[in-house]
Amino acid sequence: MTPPSESETMAVAISREVRDGDTVAVGTLAPVPAAGALLAHLSHAPRATVLIFNHEDYWPFRQGSKEFYDYAQRGNFDLFFLSGGQIDRYGNLNLITIGEHDHPTLRFPGGAGAAMLYYMARRVILFRMDHTPRIFVERVDTVASPGTSPADIVRLGGPWKAVTPLCVFRFDQTTRMLAVESIHPGVSPEALQRRTGFPLELGAAPAVTPPPTREELALLRGRVRESLAKTYPRFAETVFSSP
């Protein structure tokens, strides 16, 4: 069997965060979280409610995105996925601008629902398909959605994990910062630190992400890929290895 690709390792890491019975929703432009949610649903989480944006089998909303956002605002999502142009060690997300806000060097499309979903989904997994010191920074330039909030604001959830091609971070509720939970197989601690823009506590022998099992890879490359092709045809075609 072909060894797992970075995307496959990430999808499997994400799938292991889905609990049976969760309501898990996947927004736009998120094929790897969608693959992870589908994998979980087809393996250890058959009673999960899986919602994947505009997927013909997994998107029940028929009153536009309003229905989706209203449903999310009621705190109905146990698990959601967000990304950012910058993500900092405090779990802050930047989806607005890089540089001086009025004279930015880069302008992103904007926060869209992130500033609500980060508060109202119970557990949020952050994901990036690349891991560089320009993305994982000490402090984001502009905060579209903060990692934590004071107690006088209604906030039901927030950052839970962050999954990248190099590692899994967990969000430490005590320090309120990202901490390395495990490094993916084949990635050295030195490389991980070099490609991260804030200091990491890696210890003498950091944990290694358990690699995908044969069963997980077979499902990913078979039924998950088949289902994902309905909404991410190009991704399904190019990213997964052959069964």
State the residues that interact with other proteins by CB under 8 A. 54, 59, 61-66, 73, 96, 101, 111, 115-120, 142-146, 149-150, 152-155
Decide: 41 and 48 in contact? Cβ < 8 Å. Answer: yes
Rounded alpha-carbon distances, angstroms, from residue 200 to 21, 136, 171, 184, 187: 34, 11, 13, 15, 14
Distance of closest approach, residue 68 Cβ to other proteins, in angstroms: 10
Between the alpha carbon of residue 239 and those of residues 8, 25, 27, 55, the distances in Å are 8, 21, 19, 18
In this complex, which beta carbon is closest to other proteins, that of residue 31 or of residue 212? 31
d(CA 238, CA 112): 28
**Which residue number, 2 or 149, has a Cβ lying nearer to other proteins?**
149
Residue with tokens 């019975």: 21
Taking the complex as a whole, the smallest distance from the CB of residue 114 to other proteins amounts, in Å, to 8
Q: Nearest distance from residue 238's CB to other proteins, in Å?
A: 15
Cβ atoms of residues 89 and 157 within 8 Å? no
> Min. distance of Cβ 72 from other proteins in angstroms?
9
For other proteins, the closer of residues 75 and 189 by Cβ is 75
Closer residue to other proteins, CB minimum distance, 118 or 127: 118
Q: What is the DSSP letter of 106?
A: E
What is the rounded CA–CA span in Å between residue 157 and residue 155?
Answer: 6
The residue (of 61 and 235) whose beta carbon lies closer to other proteins is 61
Least distance to other proteins, CB of residue 203, Å: 32
Q: How far is the CB of 33 from other proteins (least distance, A)?
A: 20
In whole angstroms, give the CA distance from residue 78 to residue 158. Answer: 11
Nearer to other proteins, 8 or 78 (CB): 78
Residues 51/54/55/61 CA torsion (nearest 10 deg): 50
